[in-house]
Chains A and B, each alone.
Chain A
Amino acid sequence: MPYTDYSVMDFVMDERFQRWVLHPEPSDHSFWNQWLSQHPEKKAAIEEAARLLLLQQYPIAPWPAHRMQKVKENIQQSPPDAVPSASQKFSIKHSYRVAAAVLILAAAVMVFRYKSIQTTTYQTAYGQTKAFSLPDSSSVLLNANSSLRYSRHWNTDKPREVWLEGEAFFKVRKWHTPAQQTDASAPVKFIVHVEGLDVEVMGTEFNVQYRHSTVQVVLNEGKIDVKVEDGERVVMRPGDMLQYSLETNQLVHQQVDTDKQTSWRNHLLVFDNQTLAEVGRVIEDYYGVQVVFSHAALAQEKITGTLPSDNLEVILQSLETIYQIRIDQQKEKIIMDK
């Protein structure tokens, strides 16, 4: 049966298809990409089949290194007919040795921990997003090619502080100092430090992006206070977007559709009458590639639509089919041509 007659389940069961999705070799990519470009009507079936296969990840039971070493010694050091059973675990003499080793290891771990106690850093690679919680159980979604650093220990007597490069969406929980004596408890500030400005909040949902010498803050919910490096303070309300250029020190404050602005959270890129040049820049930020245009006029073409953000191949193929441009990818360089 030819691939054109394949159903979702036929693809799931096909060993060549499985290999491409789960353990690809370079030749698989060229084969399937070419096939897909000739049969775009099969895209939905292929995507569904791929998702079913990609679901097949199971937690690993790691073999503890000291046990692995022990079994190896059992085999290598004993005469062949006197190999002790791995389950006859330790002699007493041996267990002293193990105890000593464990102590040394524990001490080493403590020293290591102590050294790295100051800060925690989360980083994302190109094309990857990461979700995690902060010590106050606020949550962060870090966009591709970004990093967030913060102090490992947070107290209610100091503001909560994080340092951001790239882009992240924050859901900040309100935190209060414990009520002392008669005073009512005071909320603890949460501060995002980004090049050029600080975003101060109590508990809200907002997005901060710092790329290409421009900081952009989008507020979905609540109220935030932005402190620009020159001392200016701006209060933002839900639906507000603030853009600050580090080159010109210019501040733009406007109302936007916050869902569109933060659509990357749902693995979507929403473009609303934007130029191909802007689309190209977003692709560059996400995937660490360089996007060039064969002629300047093409870069100014306007685009409206929604693209998935988590698959570069799909993005490029869609742009190709729908806007009838030719896209050529040479390693880290993407050339758009008409």
Chain B
Amino acid sequence: MKPASDPEETWEKMYTLYGPVLYNYGSKLTTQLDWVEDCIQDLFTELWEKKDRLEDIRYGKAYLIKSFRRKLVHKIQTDQQQKAHYHSSELQFHITFSFESSWIEREKQKEQESQLQKALSLLSHRQREAIFLKFYENHSYDEVADIMKIEKSAVYTLIYKAMTQLREVVKKTLIPSQIVLTIFMMFSAIPFSG
């Protein structure tokens, strides 16, 4: 049977599409970007060796992220053990919000944005990784559980608590778009005359 498409082309497509995704994800787990590249290279070398089977649904994005994470975490932990950094053996995950530039009351805006950044930084590394995989990388709860090697219910709890904490800050600082909402709900109906 003839394969649906050229295996090298399939591999190339995966590399172009997911290489940058893995790089972006890896850069949140460590600042050692050469490790990130090493792990992408390892993973795609494995895929190159079995490139005839890449059409298999098993090799989707969740699989790639999971395999890549395992490699990178191994590298990070090996390094930590060598340096005997036992106190920092917890896995790190660093993200910030990228706000779209907003005009209104710039000074107040800055304040609100920094409050939200602070709230994000107060979440645990696992919470941040979970919301990143869920909302930014668009994985299902099952996939996030599989990638992070924890129970689905644990993923749910991490995300629920993280979002509740962020919601409190949003409520407190009342971002301008919510003022819109309030005004919007207040506006009154004028009955038709005609």
Give A residues with C-beta under 8 Å from B.
8-9, 12-13, 15, 18-19, 22-23, 44, 47-48, 51-53, 55-63, 67-68, 71-72, 74-76, 80, 83, 85-87, 89, 129-132, 139, 141, 265-268, 297, 300-308, 310, 314, 318, 322-324
Q: Given contacts A22-B135, A52-B166, are A302 and B193 in contact (CB under 8 A)? A: yes
Asked if A57 and B48 make an inter-chain contact with CB atoms under 8 angstroms apart, the answer reads no
Would you call B167 an interface residue if the criterion is a C-beta within 8 Å of the partner chain's C-beta atoms?
Answer: yes
Asked if B23 and A58 make an inter-chain contact with CB atoms under 8 angstroms apart, the answer reads no
| CB-defined contacts of A48 to chain B, threshold 8 Å | 167, 178, 181
Q: Out of B48, B103, B193, which one reaches A75, CB within 8 Å?
A: B48
Would you call B97 an interface residue if the criterion is a C-beta within 8 Å of the partner chain's C-beta atoms?
Answer: yes
Q: Number of residues in B with C-beta < 8 Å to the partner?
A: 61
Asked if B37 and A51 make an inter-chain contact with CB atoms under 8 angstroms apart, the answer reads no
Top 10 nearest A-B pairs by Cβ distance? A87-B34, A61-B27, A63-B23, A56-B135, A86-B37, A305-B187, A131-B103, A59-B98, A58-B95, A86-B41
Asked if B97 and A9 make an inter-chain contact with CB atoms under 8 angstroms apart, the answer reads no
Question: Main secondary structure on chain B at its contact with chain A?
Answer: helix
Docked pose: A85 CA to B41 CA in angstroms: 8
Q: Given contacts A52-B166, A63-B19, are A323 and B189 in contact (CB under 8 A)? A: yes
- From residue B118, how far is it (CB to closest CB) to chain A in Å? 14
Q: Given contacts A51-B170, A322-B189, are A141 and B103 in contact (CB under 8 A)? A: yes
Number of A-B contacts (CB under 8 A): 153
A-B contact pairs, 8 of them (CB 8 A): A8-B167, A52-B170, A56-B135, A57-B97, A62-B20, A266-B179, A267-B176, A267-B180
Would you call B86 an interface residue if the criterion is a C-beta within 8 Å of the partner chain's C-beta atoms?
Answer: no
Would you call B44 an interface residue if the criterion is a C-beta within 8 Å of the partner chain's C-beta atoms?
Answer: yes
Asked if B45 and A52 make an inter-chain contact with CB atoms under 8 angstroms apart, the answer reads no
Considering the complex, which residues of chain B in the window 138-172 have a beta carbon less than 8 Å from any beta carbon of chain A?
138, 140-141, 156, 159-160, 163-164, 166-167, 170
Residue of A nearest to B116 (CB): A55
Asked if B160 and A13 make an inter-chain contact with CB atoms under 8 angstroms apart, the answer reads yes
Would you call B131 an interface residue if the criterion is a C-beta within 8 Å of the partner chain's C-beta atoms?
Answer: yes
Residue of B nearest to A10 (CB): B160
- From residue B113, how far is it (CB to closest CB) to chain A in Å? 10
Residue of B nearest to A141 (CB): B103
Q: Out of A57, A68, A268, A308, which one reaches B20, CB within 8 Å?
A: A68
| CB-defined contacts of B4 to chain A, threshold 8 Å | none
Docked pose: A58 CA to B48 CA in angstroms: 31
Asked if A13 and B48 make an inter-chain contact with CB atoms under 8 angstroms apart, the answer reads no
Asked if B180 and A87 make an inter-chain contact with CB atoms under 8 angstroms apart, the answer reads no
Q: Given contacts A8-B167, A18-B135, A58-B132, are A318 and B184 in contact (CB under 8 A)? A: yes
Asked if B167 and A52 make an inter-chain contact with CB atoms under 8 angstroms apart, the answer reads yes
Would you call B190 an interface residue if the criterion is a C-beta within 8 Å of the partner chain's C-beta atoms?
Answer: yes
Q: Out of B45, B49, B178, which one reaches A51, CB within 8 Å?
A: B178
| CB-defined contacts of B100 to chain A, threshold 8 Å | 57
| CB-defined contacts of B44 to chain A, threshold 8 Å | 71-72, 75
Asked if A131 and B102 make an inter-chain contact with CB atoms under 8 angstroms apart, the answer reads yes
| CB-defined contacts of A267 to chain B, threshold 8 Å | 104, 176-177, 180
Docked pose: A323 CA to B116 CA in angstroms: 38
Would you call B82 an interface residue if the criterion is a C-beta within 8 Å of the partner chain's C-beta atoms?
Answer: no
Docked pose: A19 CA to B132 CA in angstroms: 14
Asked if B41 and A9 make an inter-chain contact with CB atoms under 8 angstroms apart, the answer reads no
Would you call B188 an interface residue if the criterion is a C-beta within 8 Å of the partner chain's C-beta atoms?
Answer: yes
Asked if B45 and A75 make an inter-chain contact with CB atoms under 8 angstroms apart, the answer reads yes
Docked pose: A60 CA to B24 CA in angstroms: 6
